[in-house]
Each structure stands twice: as C-alpha cells, then as structure tokens.
Structure 1
Amino acid sequence: MLRPAGLWRLLRRPRAPGVPAENLCRREVASGVSVPCGTSPRALNIFDRDLKRKQKNWAARQPEPMKFDYLREEVGSRIADRVYDIARDFSLGLDLGCGRGYIAQHLNKETVGKFFQTDIAENALKNSLKTEIPTVSVLADEEFLPFQENTFDLVVSSLSLHWVNDLPRALEQCFSDYKSAQIHYVLKPDGVFIGAMFGGDTLYELRCSLQLAETEREGGFSPHVSPFTAINDLGHLLGRAGFNTLTVDTDEIQVNYPGMFELMEDLQGMGESNCSWNRKALLHRDTMLAAAAVYREMYRNEDGSVPATYQIYYMIGWKYHDSQARPAERGSATVSFGELGKINSLMSQGKKSQ
C-alpha cells in the first residue's frame, strides 16, 4: 500500500507515559539471577531464533528493503555519533546484528580502520549498504560469536540485542562449554562497547490497542509485542559482564503512520515481527479491525495519522585497562557535601587572599 507523502516523520520527544510493558519474563532473564555463566542457551527459550532469522531474511529479500530502513538508519547514525564522540581511532571494529550495515555507512576509515559485520540473516549481509570502510561480512549469531579473546577495539550493536535469548550471557566475558565468545571477551583491554536496543515503552500504543480489542472480542489477550529489558537492568547487566565507566541513557523516536495496519506492515518489512515462543499465531479479523479502531480513537493525531513510539536504550561500557581513570579511594575527599553550597564564597575568598 502506497503511503501519502509527508506522513512519515521522525522526531525526538519527551518520555510519554505508556501502559505497563509486557516485560516481566524478560526482566527475570535480564536480571541474570537464574542463569549462571556457561548455562546452555536452550535453558532460556524466550525467542525462536530460527524464526527471527527467517523473518530478517524475508525482509532483506523484498524489492525495496530501503523503504523500511528509516528507523535503523536513524538509530545507526546516532550510534555513529557516539563513536565520533570518543577521541580515538579504532583499528578494528565489530558490528553485531548489523543488518544491511546501518552503522558502518555513517563511519569513515579515519575513525575505524576495518569493520567486521555479523548477522544471522545471510540475505541482509548480501545486500549491505556501501561504506568507505573495508568490511568483512560474517554469518554469525549474536549468542555465539566466532572470535578470539582481545580481538576488537570497538564493538557496536544497533537494534539487535533485544532478540537475544540470554542477554547477560551475550554481554559477559565467560567462555562456556559451547565455545562461544561474548562481547566483553572479544574486546581488547580499554576497548569500548556501544549498543542500542528497544526499551520497554516501545510500541505501547499498539500493545494497548491489541490488548483492549482482544479482551473485548475474545475475552482475554495474549502478548503480541515481544518482551523488552527494563532500563533499570542495563547498568547491572553491563557491570556484571565486567564493563566499567558505564553510560546508559534513553531516547524516544515517534513515527506517524496512516493507520495500524501500515505500522504492522512496516514492522514486518523491518524484520521486527514478534518471534516469542508464547506468541499467538493468528488474530481474528474482527479483533484486528477493532484494534485499528481503538488505536485511531485513542492516539490519532490532528492530521489523521497515528503515532508509534519507539523507546531506545543506548549503552556504553569499557573493558578494564590499567591506564583508565579510577575513582578516588573512599574517605579521601577534602570537601563534604554539606559545604558544596558554599563553594562560590570559598573560591572568592581564595582569590582575594592571592
């Protein structure tokens, strides 16, 4: 279906209140308390990874895959901005879940000398976007990285890790019985990891509309949007994985669509359809029409379009090295917090005494 020109726009917006996210089971996984390092990935089966590979391959085979790249392009450029903010050149970088290469196209060879791009979808790798950086495409799963320890100066990941079954294990430094190196493990000392993933308020409008319609028409509802990690868990996950000097922040991108069905069409085109094992295979036609009506009634913009909110978590973590700055020892402060309010007067007195 062709969309009227001008209906698409991406913009930053303040955090909007949403309905509670369907993230309870993912939070239990994200906390890392129930699964020790080295546990078989089969013990955590939230997502059907084979189905996700098929979804991404199908999306990459479409005649115009760039038609659905707008969100990945935007987040990829923001990841690249964070790379440029670091006053350092990286001789060897790695992109996990690269898709068609949405980060590499925004980087230059002066910043990153060589880039390895990995993805589970071979069709996405075959249709990679052009970049001036020398790249190597590797068909690999984010859960099973085929690289040796201390290999990369930089690891990035954009909108991919939210489909990983065992997120703590994907970040950690452990080397399990499955011989799968993880992000911390493949980074060199003083190397940096920069990632972005969808957060808990993503698509809350769609989630709420489907829940209300399905409850009214079918007497109950099933999850139709995948579970997400909570922002409060990310710092713990990165610290548990061995990263330090952590930065975690959140942003929201709103995209306006002609209607709910166009949104769902684009999610399919992005390869972002739900692949949770507990998903409901089909929705009745009446339920879908009712959900579209609820969506429009509750969230419609003045121009008739409907918004969809994508919450993005950005994270930065460094692998330890002796040269890194460390916090001062406890009790070494010379000024108490109670005296901070007097700092201006103390400084002015110091200048007069000089």
Structure 2
Amino acid sequence: MNQPIALTDPAALARNRARACDDALFLQRTARGEIEDRLGMVNKAFQAPAIVAAFPRVWRDRIDGAKIVPETETLTISPGEHDMVIHSLGLHWANDPVGQLIQCRRSLRPDGLLLATAFGGQTLHELRSCLAEAEIAETGGLSPRVAPMGEVRDLGALLQRAGLALPVADAVKLSVQYKSMWHLMRDVRAMGEANVLATRLRTPTRRSVLTKAAEIYAQTFPNDTGGIVATFELIVLTGWAPDESQQKPLRPGSAQARLADALRTDETSLPD
C-alpha cells in the first residue's frame, strides 16, 4: 500500500523553530491570550491539564500544574490522562491534523476540554497572492510556498471527526503593519514559520521574483503610513470529550410549543 505523501519536512520545521526569536512570537502569545480568555469563561476547575506547544517557553508558568507536551507527530500523552488539553498554534504544519486532535481527544477524561488554535485560511493572503503573481510573471510557473490553512468551518468539522462533543470554532483576524514585504518576510522567519513544505523548492527564489512581489504588495495592500498591511487569522477550536452529563439536542418533532406562537404570527402551510 502506498504511503501518504508528507506535507511537512519535520527536520526543516525543527530547525526553523529552534532559530525562532522570542521577540517575534507575538502570534503565539496572542493565541495564548485567546485561549486564556476562553478558559476564564469556563466554570470548571481543571486538575490535570496538558499543553501541546511548539514553543514551550510561551506557556511556561501560565497554567498551574500543566504538563508541556512537545508538538510531534505522536504526542506523549496517555489515554484518559488529562481533564484539559490545549493544542497551541501548530496544526497548520501537522502532516495529520485530524490525528493530532484524535490523540488529544483520547487523552481526555469524560467531559474533558480541548482548546486548540490554528492559523485560518486568510492568514498572509496578501503575501501569497503577490508572490504567486510575481512568480508566474517572472518564471511562468508556481511553486509551493505556504502551508494549506483551512477555513473556520473546515477546521470546526475536524472537531467532530475527532469525536468531540459540543464543537465550537471562531475566528480572530489581526491586521499587522509592516514597512515593506521584506520586513514581513523577515518577521515570518523569526517566528519559525518559514516554508518547510516537503515539496518546496530547494534552491533560492530568484531575486527578480521577490523584487516584483514587493512592488505588487506595496501597490495592492498599502497602509496609511507608506508601508503594507498583513493579515493573520487565528481559529480557536473548542470541544469536549463526550459525557452523559452534557447537554444534548432534542429529538426532531419533540418541541412543546409552535414557533408561530412564539413569534405571534400566523402559520401558513406550503402547497404540496
């Protein structure tokens, strides 16, 4: 049987993350803040939390008693070990994102909470479109540069595929200002998020491609101060390990009152 083609080059990903600068990890800290905000709205105390994190230093000492788990293809968490698992902003580089969520789900006790953050499909759409336009114009071809990132509905569906109950997915968009495309690309590298696709070009991109992309970017996506704007979209996923104590939807046809009565209107039957 043929093995599935890997999306990500794990060795390159590890190198990039090892070179990441603390000052550039603002998106990791923003994702952490979104998770902490949602935890503040949960009326439940967690005694055995785990955090799957590519950058453990971002989470150090943030949640009492949390086990920090390296973000690897096979997570070092055992079935039923935790009552809460956080997966922090790394699903876009996972070769099997559903498998990551399934592993988190299996490690949860009944009624345990999963919180995950991931980059959404609008992330760096400006940079992607400018690089594509420039590369086609300069070389007549197009090479893979950015990891595929799902829309909020697609990522929310992953929770159900992983067997989680009460799934919720919402999006947070961030507009970040840069002096130029060059400054943005330097920041992306400093975040540890440079291209590690297994099918990426292994030779440097032509200077003419990058120069043209920078010109297109400055013309198409300017900000008010002579620089550019870059979009980052964070998707926050919430789901619970199934438990009998959880709310369940009513059976179809079990309503005790008519919608027309609640709306104080007449009900009109449609013709067959």
Same fold (TM over 0.5): yes
Q: Describe the shift of the 1:304–1:70 C-alpha distance in structure 2 as closer, same or farther (beyond 3 A).
A: same
**SS in structure 1 of the partner of residue 237 of structure 2:** strand
Q: Which residue of 2 aligns with 1:97?
A: 53
Q: Describe the shift of the 1:300–1:83 C-alpha distance in structure 2 as closer, same or farther (beyond 3 A).
A: same
Q: Is the 8 A contact 2:130 2:216 kept in 1?
A: yes
Q: Which runs of 5+ in 2 are unaligned?
A: 266-272
1:18-33 matches, within 5 Å, as none
Q: 1:257 aligns with which of 161, 168, 178?
A: 178
Moved more, 327-336 or 147-156: 327-336
Q: Is the 8 A contact 1:98 1:157 kept in 2?
A: no
Tell me, yes or no, if structure 1 residue 45 matches structure 2 residue 1: no
Q: 2:129 aligns with which of 201, 204, 208?
A: 208
Q: Which runs of 5+ in 1 are unaligned?
A: 1-38, 60-64, 121-140, 173-181, 344-354
Provide the rounded CA distance (Å) in 2 between the counterparts of 1:70 and 1:262. 15
Provide the rounded CA distance (Å) in 2 between the counterparts of 1:230 and 1:157. 18
Residue type of the partner of 1:159? Answer: L
Q: Is the 8 A contact 1:80 1:103 kept in 2?
A: no
- Deviation of 1:91 (Å): 0.7
**SS in structure 2 of the partner of residue 312 of structure 1:** strand
**SS in structure 2 of the partner of residue 191 of structure 1:** strand
Q: Is the 8 A contact 2:50 2:66 kept in 1?
A: yes
Q: Deviations over 1:282-308 (max 9, x none)?
A: 210111111111111111112012111
**SS in structure 2 of the partner of residue 76 of structure 1:** helix
Q: Which residue of 2 aligns with 1:238?
A: 159
Identity %: 29
Q: Describe the shift of the 1:295–1:331 C-alpha distance in structure 2 as closer, same or farther (beyond 3 A).
A: same
**SS in structure 2 of the partner of residue 91 of structure 1:** coil
- Deviation of 1:212 (Å): 1.1
Q: Deviations over 1:217-263 (max 9, x none)?
A: 11122222111123222232211211011111111011111111111
* Count of paired positions: 264
- Deviation of 1:47 (Å): 0.9
- Deviation of 1:49 (Å): 1.6
Provide the rounded CA distance (Å) in 1 between the counterparts of 2:90 and 2:9. 14
1:88-167 matches, within 5 Å, as 88-107=44-63, 109=64, 114-120=65-71, 141=72, 143-167=73-97
- Deviation of 1:105 (Å): 5.0
**TM-score for the superposition, normalised by structure 2:** 0.91
Tell me, yes or no, if structure 1 residue 308 matches structure 2 residue 238: no
Tell me, yes or no, if structure 1 residue 189 matches structure 2 residue 150: no
Residue type of the partner of 1:276? Answer: L
Residue type of the partner of 2:86? Answer: V
Residue type of the partner of 1:236? Answer: A
Provide the rounded CA distance (Å) in 2 between the counterparts of 1:89 and 1:43. 40
Tell me, yes or no, if structure 1 residue 324 matches structure 2 residue 254: no
Q: Is the 8 A contact 1:77 1:102 kept in 2?
A: no
1:69-80 matches, within 5 Å, as 69-80=25-36
Provide the rounded CA distance (Å) in 1 between the counterparts of 2:156 and 2:8. 23
